[in-house]
A = this chain, B = another copy of it.
Amino acid sequence: MFVKIMRHQTKTFFTFKNVKISTRNISNRPDFTKNRYKITRGNYNYLHEEHIHYFQNLLGESRIVMDLSDLEKYNVDWFNQVRGCSSIVLKPKTTEEVSNILRFCDLNKLAVCPQGGNTSVLGGSVPVFDEVIISTELMNEIVDLDEHSGVITCQAGCILENIDNYLETKGLIVPLDLGAKGTCHIGGNVSTNAGGMRLIQFGNMHGNILGIEAVKANGDVVDCLSTLKKDNTGYHLKHLFIGSEGTLGFVTKVALQCPARPKFRNVAFLGLQNFVKVLKTFKLLRQRLAEILSAVEVIDTPTMEFIKNVNSQNSPIGEYPFYLMIETSGSNERHDEEKLSGFFEEAIHKGLVLNGIVANEPAKIQKIWSVRENIANGFKARGSKMLQYDISLPFKDYYNIMEPIREYTKDVSETVFGFGHMGDGNLHLQIILKSDVTEKIRSKINDFVFEKILELKGSISAEHGIGLLKAKYMDKIKPQSSIKLMKSVKKLMDPNGILNPYKVLL
């Protein structure tokens, strides 16, 4: 067995490519969603001249998009999977404007589609028909930062990475990190209960969001914008808006608890022989790195092949059946390094890890992270040839789901690969098809995958939500009592059903 732990090594590092997730390639447009998925338009009104006049009076012409070519990027999702045909995008700047728009749409029974950075994986952020798109693009102000408590209050349209860059200057960090950070809006993160790579360290949005201001379908502003860490006065309404994907209200402001920015960071990239050793290594990581363990990402061999093909990036340590990317974030450089060394010694002694590399300089850390962060860059070009699954599974079965799926899809798939946030039991499973397939075959594959997930007591959506593309599975995966309650909550919050229709609940 070849064991080599290389600290601060540089020769195997690749060039960091600053591929922004925000670029849109609309030359290869998908079919209209309404046709592809044979969806029936809801009983909403169509946009009339008088509606447009109202919006023009409210926002001025400069904050309304109606030009066909400009509209395209709001009508098509980043993954090129879905395409709506909205003829108008509104760009409010204030909560009051959002309130006026929604009140008007509700009275006039115009369906709306709230949109942040439009990075939804499941078609949740683009219209299906002609919904009025309300974009948070211009709601990008930081309202307040309490440096004592680390609570930042900002508008929903702030880009996650911009918030983090701002906080960095104050010694704080956003407790959320995901591949789309350069494009996604905090309002969208809240609305989809985004998870990402550092949930293992910081916990989820329900724990970190202290306050939300949102607008109901009828234009009522719901002010739950507390900035206190503890506030037990009445129902905790803000959670209704976390994870409901814009179907219960339009999030306009967010107050977020931000921890102190860790002073020292180490990232290690490990090669392992099989998944049993991955599991054992994960257990050891939790014991040895404990309070400084901030991310544990797993990558399998076919994922690394995919990365090589689409991003021209190689594994920085040569080829192995499995890779773990682990990160520590601590307050004492020597302590962190000692803990990491202790982990390595034991991992090597126990024969768990075959090879590894560690970096502690920001540029090198970024290079290692880019292997993981840029995976999704290859997805768009595959469009509908790609089936994406975002799965939660109990740890013991985390990777067991792969083989039956490879077997089931062997005639139609080019490759089936898995990577993800191992620390949270969250696997991103991808199937790339040899060629585009009929909706029927696609449905059969989905059914098979979802059945397997349910057999293993997992979730068919760990962090991407339901959006449009998984809505039809809700009845199969949730108890009827939950569906019934969800529907009555929807009816309460949005009696005319104007908010993001065709999504989440059918």
Contact = CB atoms under 8 A, between A and B. Distances in A.
Interface of A: 146, 148-149, 192-193, 195, 199, 203-204, 206-208, 216, 220-224, 226-237, 239-240, 242-244, 248, 260, 262-263, 286-292, 329-332, 335, 338-339, 392-396, 421, 424-426, 457-466, 470, 474, 477-479, 481-486, 488-490, 492, 504-505
A424 B395 CA distance: 32
Contact of A239 (B236, B332, B421): B236
A286 B149 CA distance: 11
A148 B395 contact: yes
B425 A229 contact: yes
17 contacts: A149-B425, A193-B236, A199-B230, A206-B207, A206-B239, A207-B208, A222-B485, A227-B457, A231-B392, A232-B465, A234-B474, A235-B240, A235-B490, A236-B242, A237-B485, A288-B331, A489-B489
Given A260-B286, A488-B492, A461 B233 contact: yes
Given A204-B207, A425-B228, A426-B229, A291 B331 contact: yes
A89 to B, nearest CB: 26
A401 B257 CA distance: 23
Total copies of this chain within the assembly: 2
B287 A231 contact: no
A466 B234 contact: yes
A109 to B, nearest CB: 21
Given A207-B206, A338-B335, A482-B224, A232 B489 contact: no
A482 B222 contact: yes
A229 B486 CA distance: 21
A234 B478 contact: yes
A459 B226 contact: yes
A318 B476 CA distance: 64
Contact of A291 (B195, B330, B482, B492): B330
Nearest to A122: B232
B458 A228 contact: yes
A98 B339 CA distance: 49
A485 B494 CA distance: 12
Nearest to A249: B485
A400 to B, nearest CB: 13
Given A146-B394, A149-B425, A489-B492, A228 B482 contact: no
Contact of A232 (B193, B233, B330, B395): B193
Contacts of A260: 286-287, 290
A235 B244 CA distance: 5
B233 A248 contact: no
Contacts of A465: 232-233
Given A207-B206, A338-B335, A481-B221, A233 B466 contact: yes
B240 A244 contact: no
A229 B482 contact: no
3 nearest A-B pairs in the assembled complex, by CB-CB distance: A207-B207, A239-B239, A290-B331
Given A395-B149, A481-B221, A459 B233 contact: yes
Contact of A461 (B232, B288, B289): B232
A425 to B, nearest CB: 6
A393 B230 CA distance: 9
